[in-house]
Structure formats: structure tokens, C-alpha cells
Amino acid sequence: MKMYVGGVFELYGKKELTFNMHISNHAADNALKWGNGWSVSMYSFENGNKNLKTIIHAARGIPHQVIRSLQRDCALNILRAEASTAQTDLFSSSMVRKEEKKSFYAGSVWCLMPTNFTPTAAERWHCQIKGINFQNFLQCTRIVSNHICYGSNKVRSRTDNSFCSIGGSFFRIRKIIADEQSGQVFLFVSKVRYRPYLVPALPQAVA
């Protein structure tokens, strides 16, 4: 990895000498210390930066804009929790930012960019076998669970986060569906088949 990073300048030029390229030098150390790659993922922090950008509308008074937005969100949360009526719910929903209207929580999972779920014949069959009423579900582009962002392989992105580990096996996420009312989230996946290789044992990480 160090040889590759050291030769990036000669191979691809100065524009590819980014922070992500530098952090590749530490990929092996991070894996030894923390485990799988998603344990050091920055997706949740990057998503937080995106949320901060959406509440800034002018170049002046940026701290005041952030504080006012946070105060408004806190006030709306208190209003929903302690004085929930049809009128207050209508008022609070009118104050929600456009970006937040495109997401919802299904249990503890944050579901992003929901659209209508139109199952294929195979997906309909799987839903019937599992006893899932797919008419109550929405298809989501991405979900955030335990501070990790997952997406389907159909999402066009510079980073591919459509792989997950379930029960010791690796799967490719094909489609994500979620029901806000019941808090259920299901993944349509396909198992990743790979050839095992015998490698020398890795040294133990030093605390």
C-alpha cells in the first residue's frame, strides 16, 4: 500500500494526492486495531456536515444561523412530545426542512430518500413467504444503522456501501424497504461468493 501511495503522483498526478489517498497508508493499522473497514467509517460525520450546510443560507452570521436552527429543532421536539394535537402537528410539519421530509425513522434506523415500492415477481413472492404486507413499505435509497450508512448497489455514488455482513457471510444489498409505522426494515440481498485464500496470520494489535 505504501508503494502504491508513493507512486500515485507519478501515475496520476498531483490532483490525486488527497487526504483519502494519504489515509490509505493507515488502512492496515486501522484494520488491526479496530476491525472491519466500516468501524472507522466517516459516513455519519460526512452526513452531519451535509446537514449543517443545509441550514446555512448566507455568508454572514453563520454561527447564529446554526444556533437558531438548533433552537428551532429543540422547540419543535418539545412541542411534539408535550403538546401534540392536530394543530401543533400541522404546524411542526410545516416547519420541517425539505431535506428532512425526504427521510424517516423506522425504529432506530434512519431511512433516506423513500419512494414507492413496486416489487418484482420474485420480490413479491419473498414478501408472501415472510408474511410481509409490502403495500405498507417504501423503498429507500440509503439507511443509517448504528452510525453506518448502507445503500443498494443501484445507487450511483463514488463510494460503494452496498455490502454488509450477516451471520458471518457477506451480502450485496439489492434493495431496501422500510415501514415507518411498524419500524420494520428489510433488505433484498444476494450472497457474495468468493474464493478463500490461505494467508499468514496477522500479528496482534498492540494497544
Q: What pLDDT digit, counting tens, does each position of 6-23 carry?
A: 888 888 888 888 877 888
CB atoms within 10 A of CB 111: 25
The answer on pLDDT for 201 being more than 80 is no
* DSSP conformation class of 157: -
Q: What is the pTM of this model?
A: 0.53
pLDDT at res. 198: 58
Give the cell for residue 140: 429507500
The answer on pLDDT for 107 being more than 60 is yes
Query: Rounded CA gap, 14 and 136, in Å?
Result: 51
Helix, strand, coil percentages (3-state) for the chain, rounded to 5, are 45, 25, 35
Query: Rounded CA gap, 193 and 140, in Å?
Result: 25
